[in-house]
Amino acid sequence: MLEKSTSDRKTRDDRVDLAGAEFSSFTVEEAADDRILRSSLWVAVGFHALLLMINLPAFHEAVEASPPKKETFHVVPTPRFERPKVPRTPIPPKRVKRIPVPDPTPHEIEPIRHDEPVPEVDLPEPDIDFKIPEAPPMPEPEGPIIIGGDVQKPEKIHTVQPLYTNTARIARLQGQVIVQAIIDKQGDVTDVKVLKGLRLGLSEEAVKAVEQWKFKPATLRGKPVAVYFNLTVRFQLS
């Protein structure tokens, strides 16, 4: 028991010594930090005092009053180049050779020529009667032709009104049907074709009515011919 108490006391003493050493080192470091802080404060105070002593506006005016420096410019002369002189070669003039033409008869005198008068000859006028033959008659066209030029269009003589279908009447359908037909030499309507129709049976009724129409036939130079002719059938409810 005695040995155990002695060891515990030693341990406690060691701990106290270690704590005292740490406290002393901490105190030294704190004192050094205080010295650095005081020196920094003194430096800052001195710097601000120096700034207050300097008259900044006067210093600025002195800087502005100083004469500005003159800028120097260097002018670089532009080099001039002269064109090289090329010697001109003279063009020799063209030489024209003159070939003398010798006189074939240098010793003979050329005779003077006189034009002889031409005797007038009376020729009898020919007794010729030129007659232009008449042109052959134009052949009549075999089939139907298109109206134009010398063709006179046919004239309507008799028409038949188309019938309304019951369905078209109930639907109140109105309009017109355009057909192309052939008007023969007798003025009858044949080969009817619908170009623009109406529904509900009105196109068929228009074709039936047109086939019963009668025309005065078209003529070419006074003769009847068959022609193509467009007809219009109108459907309108009263």
Q: How do the domains of the chain map onto residue ranges?
A: 12-60, 151-235
Rounded Cα–Cα distance for residues 183 and 225 (Å): 8
Give the model confidence (pLDDT) of 212-222 as tens digits. Answer: 999 999 998 88
Q: Which of 32-41, 89-98, 224-233 has the highest mean pLDDT?
A: 224-233
**Quick check: 63 pLDDT over 80?**
no
Asked whether the predicted pLDDT for residue 1 surpasses 60, the reply is no
Right CATH for 151-235 from 3.30.2420.10, 1.20.58.1000, 3.40.50.300, 3.40.50.720: 3.30.2420.10
CB 181 within 8 A of CB 193: yes
**Mean pLDDT score of the chain, rounded to an integer?**
78
- Residue 186's closest CA among 154, 150, 164? 154
**Is pLDDT of 234 > 80?**
yes
- The predicted model gives 218-229 an average pLDDT of 91
Question: What pLDDT does 184 receive?
Answer: 93
Q: Are 234 and 176 in contact (CB under 8 A)?
A: yes
